[in-house]
Each structure stands twice: as C-alpha cells, then as structure tokens.
Amino acid sequence: MRCIRTGCQIYIPSYGEFAYGDAFMIDGVYIFRLCERARAPINGSRKHFTVSDWDNWFDERRTSQTVNSTLIAAARYVADHGYDGTSIEEGTTR
C-alpha cells in the first residue's frame, strides 16, 4: 500500500459533502482514512478527489477527529484531481 496524499480533501457528490483525511492506493483500490466531514470545503479551496461511489465505508457515521473512518473505493468510482488538486469554484462542486 502506498500513500498518495496526506491532507487531502475529497468531494462526495451523492451526499453533497466534503471529507478530509489521507489517501492510499493498493492494487487499483483507493483507501481513504477520514477525520472530518462537512457540507462546505474543509481545508482550503482545492479538492484532490471526487468519490462517486464506494465499496465499503467503515465507521462512516462516526467520522471525526476522535474516530477516523475508512472509505474503500474501486478506481472506477474515484476521480483523482492530482496531488495539487483542482480549484473548487464557488457554487460548483464538480
């Protein structure tokens, strides 16, 4: 498993939410360790990933600084916007 990005911001369109944490990849599968979720961008105006669906999200409803959740998604569900991410335009989350 390799770490692709620490301190990444992901957008989850089905929930209209952002999540913040670290991103890993193993055998074409993304693993996100998440410590925060919110309706507005959490850390700046850049997003690093958009996750349209996932295979499993452990502790999804408990995501916090105290309880990190783990989201596992096949590559086909994840748009990788690069290490530096892409700008989140005001009013636009795509």
pLDDT, one tens digit per residue, over 45-65 is: 899 999 999 999 999 989 998
Residue 24, domain member (yes or no): yes
Q: Is the pLDDT of residue 90 over 80?
A: no
Alpha helix segments (H runs only) across 1-94: none
Apex 62 CA angle, 57 and 67, nearest 5: 100
Based on the structure, what is the number of domains in the chain? 1
What's the CA gap between 84 and 54, in Å, rounded?
A: 23
Residue 80: closest CA among 8, 16, 18: 8
pTM for the complete prediction? 0.91
What is the three-class DSSP state of 46?
strand
What's the CA gap between 50 and 69, in Å, rounded?
A: 17
Residue 37, domain member (yes or no): yes
Domain extent for 62? 2-87
